[in-house]
Amino acid sequence: MENNQVGSLIIIGTALIVILVLVLLFLEVFYQTYLLKMKRKEAELLLKTSLESENNERQRIAADIHDGVSGDLNAVRNFISILLKIETDADKREMFTEINNGVEAALENTRLVSYKLMPPLLEKAGFVPALQDYLDRINKTSEAKFVLNANEFKYEIPQDKAYELFRISQEFTSNMMKYGKISICNMQLQEIEDNYVLQIEDDGIPYNFKELYATSKGAGLKNISSRIKVIEANFEQILQEKGNKFVISVKK
């Protein structure tokens, strides 16, 4: 009888120890999973904060260039125009003309830098006009042709998402012109169910985004990936024998 009781106690004790060990293991796994989740959230928050700070700094610098440097250069240009009107000496007029040409070139450069930092149309008119204007500028200087099809898109994308989509589009077009050897790129913007969907397709050298991202030392693909994470977009590459096709879906 006593042996049976001892045996039962041993079994119960062993079972309790096993249960306790399993509970401790479960708590350890739960804690590690929770810790990993918190670290991931912290990293995402840090990334979002970093990109928001970059956006704010770009806006500030663009405004400083537009209001400060451009204003000073315009004042110099106006002063030179006055000198040209009153100066009669040919040598001095030639010198003033050369200075004026230099000021005009500097003004154009400041406008270009300010535009690259923060396209004014993005804030004033929204994503579609800003992207169309950007592609029009590229088409004037590039052998490749960039086409935006957004005629049926009648929605206003929130500015935070519009900004990131614009920068993503810039990174893709920049990579195409540098490495892709493309002749044409088609971009299409649609509203599908509860998503804004941007499709980017080119006829350049095919590549696998994920594989290249893992081995690339450049910032281009990493910037694209970071900005996609910030706006919590879904990113898909449709692999093809010729060219590349990417689909970015952003929740409204």
List the pLDDT tens digit at each of the 252 positions of the chain.
555 665 666 676 676 677 767 766 776 676 566 666 666 665 565 555 655 666 666 666 656 565 556 666 667 777 778 877 887 888 888 887 888 888 777 776 666 666 666 677 777 788 899 899 889 988 988 889 999 999 888 888 888 888 889 989 988 998 888 887 899 999 999 998 889 999 999 999 999 888 888 887 667 788 888 888 888 899 999 998 889 999 999 998
Asked whether residue 142 falls in the same domain as residue 231, the answer is yes
Tokens 């996609």: give the residue: 228
DSSP 232: T
- Max Cα-Cα span within the chain: 129
Nearest to 127 by CA among 153, 93, 94, 98: 153
Q: How many CB atoms lie within 10 A of CB 218?
A: 12
* pTM over 0.95, yes/no: no
Please indicate, yes or no, whether residues 128 and 104 belong to a single structural domain of this protein: no
Task: Note the Cα 180 to chain centre separation in Å.
Answer: 19
247 shares a domain with 127: yes
Residues 173 and 100 in one domain: no
Is residue 198 within 8 Å of residue 169, measured between CB atoms? Answer: yes
Residues 72 and 105 grouped into a single domain: yes
Domain of 105 in residue numbering reads as 1-114
* Residues 13 and 72 reside in one and the same domain: yes
Residue 109 CA, distance from chain mean position: 23
